Amino acid sequence: MPERAQRLIAAARKNVPEGTWAVGAGLLIAGLSAYGFQILAARQLTSKGYGALNGLWAMVFVVAPGFFQPLEQEVSRALAHRHSQGIGGRPLVKRAAILGAGLSALVTLAAAVGSVPLVDELFHGDWLLFVALLVSIGSYYAAHMTRGTLSGNRRFGAYGLMHGTEGVVRLILCAALFLAGAGTPGLYGLALALPPVAAIAFVLRGQHGLLTPGPDAPYSELSGALGLLLIGSVLAQLLSYASFLGVSILAADSEKAIVGKFITGLFIARIPILLFQAVQAALLPKLAGLAGAGRHEDFKSGMHKLVVIVVGLGAVGTIGGFALGPFAGQLLFGNEKFILGHRDLALLAAGSGTFILALTLAQGLIALEAYGQAAIAWIGGIVAFGVVTAIGEDLFLRVENGFVAGGVAAAAGMAVFLMRRMRTGTASFGDLAEVIGHEPLEI
Q: How far apart are CA 365 and CA 413, in angstroms?
A: 11
Closest by CA position to 344, among listed 415, 266, 289, 410:
266
Q: How far apart are CA 339 and CA 329, in angstroms?
A: 9
Quote the pLDDT of residue 264.
Answer: 84
Q: How far apart are CA 80 and CA 70, in angstroms?
A: 15
Query: Residue length, the chain?
Result: 443
Quote the pLDDT of residue 8.
Answer: 41
Quote the pLDDT of residue 224.
Answer: 65
φ, ψ of residue 209 in degrees (nearest 5): 75, 20
Q: How far apart are CA 409 and CA 315, in angstroms?
A: 17
Quote the pLDDT of residue 80.
Answer: 80
Q: How far apart are CA 266 and CA 349, in angstroms?
A: 8
Quote the pLDDT of residue 115.
Answer: 94
SS3 content of the chain, % helix, strand, coil (to 5): 80, 0, 20
Q: How far apart are CA 379 and CA 388, in angstroms?
A: 14
- pLDDT tens for the chain, 443 residues: list them: 455 544 544 544 444 455 566 777 787 888 889 989 999 999 999 888 998 999 999 999 999 988 998 888 888 878 887 887 888 888 888 988 999 999 999 999 999 999 999 998 889 899 999 999 999 999 999 999 999 898 888 888 888 899 999 999 999 999 999 999 999 999 999 999 999 999 999 999 888 888 888 888 777 777 667 788 888 889 999 999 999 889 888 887 777 778 878 888 888 888 767 666 655 555 554 554 555 556 666 656 666 777 777 788 778 878 888 888 788 888 888 777 778 888 988 999 999 889 988 988 887 777 667 888 999 999 999 999 999 999 988 889 999 999 999 999 999 999 999 888 767 654 444 444 444 444 444 54
Quote the pLDDT of residue 19.
Answer: 56
Q: What is the DSSP string of 152-209?
A: HTT-HHHHHHHHHHHHHHHHHHHHHHHHTT---HHHHHHHHHSHHHHHHHHHTTT--S
Quote the pLDDT of residue 434.
Answer: 46
Q: What is the pLDDT of residues 249-272, one digit of tens each?
A: 888 777 777 887 888 888 888 876
Helical H segments across 15-89, by residue range: 20-44, 47-63, 69-84
Q: How far apart are CA 95 and CA 107, in angstroms?
A: 19
Across the chain, which distance is largest between two alpha carbons, in Å?
A: 64
Quote the pLDDT of residue 395.
Answer: 87
- The answer to whether residues 248 and 122 touch, using CB atoms and an 8 Å cutoff, is yes
Q: Return the half-sphere exposure (C-beta side, CA atoms, 13 A cut-off) of residue 299.
A: 22
Q: Which amino acid is at 28?
A: L
Closest by CA position to 154, among listed 97, 83, 69:
83
- The answer to whether residues 351 and 274 touch, using CB atoms and an 8 Å cutoff, is no
DSSP 8-state code for residue 253: G
Q: How far apart are CA 12 and CA 6, in angstroms?
A: 10
Please count the helices (runs of H) and the strands (runs of E) in the chain: 19, 0
Q: How far apart are CA 242 and CA 348, in angstroms?
A: 11
**From residue 182, how far is each of 86, 168, 189, 250, 332 by CA, in Å?**
53, 19, 12, 29, 20
Helix (H) / strand (E) containing 144: helix 127-152
Quote the pLDDT of residue 75.
Answer: 86
- Which letter, b or e, does each residue of 211-240 get, where b requires 16 or more Cβ atoms within 10 Å of its Cβ? beebeebeeebbbebbebbbbbbbbbbbbb
**From residue 298, how far is each of 11, 76, 289, 295 by CA, in Å?**
19, 28, 10, 5
Quote the pLDDT of residue 251.
Answer: 82
Quote the pLDDT of residue 40.
Answer: 94
Quote the pLDDT of residue 82.
Answer: 84
With the CA atoms of 422, 427, 429 and 432 taken in that order, what torsion angle do they form, in degrees rounded to the nearest 10?
A: -90
Quote the pLDDT of residue 399.
Answer: 94
